[in-house]
Amino acid sequence: MEDFKKRWEITKNWQLFFPLVGLLGLFYSSYKIVSVLKSELHVALKLTISILITSILLKLTLLIFKKLEKKWVVKQRWEIIRIFIVFAITGSSSLFIGRPFIKFIGITKENLNIFVYWFLYSIIGLIFYQILLVTFGYLLGQGKFFWEFEKKMLRRFGLGRFID
């Protein structure tokens, strides 16, 4: 355990929460993938395959961490896990908020061309994503990182004049 804490620069026990949540998130994602692909499998077999997929996803995630470690400026390595968790929560939440909002304002596949519907759906989802990204970033203690990330993204969209 001490090697793990040292590797991830964990100095306080509460910081172990984020690697644990990250690992549980990987396992949950793997289980959902297996359940969608093979719903008729026995639970024990689903769990076994999920553990295998989780280990593959973990190796892939650790490779991505190595690359992003050089690009993202964080004080401790474990904060990268927290940043990934913010991205995951934001992606899911933007769908949960975007879908009812689109229905509320009357945008449906039935009253619009399918391409117009998906274009508007994407734009509205992107707007909610940007707002939620900064919000969840602040709530999980990475507000400064996500505000800088957001400003960079808005500049790429050509909206930099509104934030500078």
Can you tell me whether residue 144 is helix, strand or coil? helix
User: Where do the domains of the chain lie?
Assistant: 1-71, 74-164
| CA–CA dist 114, 136 (Å, integer) | 31
pLDDT tens for each residue of 114-132: 898 889 888 888 889 989 9
Q: Tell which residue, 84, 78, 89, 85, has the closest CA to residue 13.
A: 78
Mean pLDDT of 86-111: 87
pLDDT, tens digit (0-9, with 9 covering 90-100), for 24-77: 989 998 998 898 887 787 888 889 999 999 999 999 988 988 888 888 878 888
Do 72 and 83 touch, CB atoms closer than 8 A? yes
Beta-carbon contacts of 141 under 8 Å, excluding residues fewer than 6 positions away, are 82
- pLDDT above 70 for 18: yes
Share of the chain above pLDDT 70, in %: 98
**Backbone φ and ψ of 77, nearest 5°:** -60, -35
Integer Cα distance of 148 and 80 in angstroms: 15
Per-residue pLDDT band for 164 (boundaries 50, 70, 90) equals: low
Q: pLDDT band at 162, cuts 50/70/90?
A: low
**By the 8 A CB rule, do 77 and 7 touch?**
yes
- Residues 158 and 80: their CA atoms lie apart, in Å, by 27
| CB of 125 closer than 8 Å to CB of 95 | yes
What confidence score (pLDDT) does residue 77 get?
Answer: 82
How far is Cα 118 from Cα 15, in angstroms, rounded to an integer? 40
pLDDT at 50: 92
